[in-house]
């Protein structure tokens, strides 16, 4: 299923059958793709995420799609926070090391 928003295409593709974990909870794997329109001759930026969402028999396909999108949102948030921490560490100036007794 594809959603278009202001030039942004979001596609959710169910990639496999449901599977159960060791507790019997059912899960639905999917691939969520986000593609922006190309600019000039540059290739279009895009991302592709593999996610899983909890599944229940009474769910509609729209319910499941919503859970896959929420899972993609959670994965992207975690990725952004991780990237932000790496960038912050790289941008911090290195602190000079203090002399210790063994280095004096």
pTM of the model: 0.76
What is the structure's pLDDT at 15? 73
Q: Does residue 100 fall inside a structural domain?
A: no
What is the structure's pLDDT at 3? 59
CA-CA distance, 11 to 32, in Å (whole number)? 6
Q: Does residue 97 fall inside a structural domain?
A: no
CA-CA distance, 3 to 74, in Å (whole number)? 18
The domain of 9 spans 2-91
Q: Does residue 96 fall inside a structural domain?
A: no
Q: Does residue 59 fall inside a structural domain?
A: yes
pLDDT at residue 104 greater than cutoff 80: no
Q: Does residue 25 fall inside a structural domain?
A: yes
In the chain, the number of structural domains is: 1
Closest by CA to 62, choosing from 15, 9, 19, 12, is 12
Q: Does residue 99 fall inside a structural domain?
A: no
CA-CA distance, 12 to 23, in Å (whole number)? 26
Dihedral angle sign, alpha carbons of residues 47, 38, 13, 77: positive
């Amino acid at each position: 299923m594809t959603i278009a928003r202001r030039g942004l295409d979001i596609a959710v593709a169910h990639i496999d059958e449901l599977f159960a974990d060791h507790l019997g909870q059912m899960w639905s794997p999917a691939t969520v793709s986000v593609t922006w329109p190309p600019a000039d001759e540059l290739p279009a930026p895009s991302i592709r995420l593999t996610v899983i969402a909890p599944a229940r028999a009474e769910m509609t396909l729209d319910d499941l799609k919503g859970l896959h999108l929420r899972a993609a949102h959670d994965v992207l948030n975690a990725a952004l926070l991780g990237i932000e921490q790496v960038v912050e560490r790289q941008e911090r100036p290195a602190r000079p090391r203090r002399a210790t007794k063994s280095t004096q």
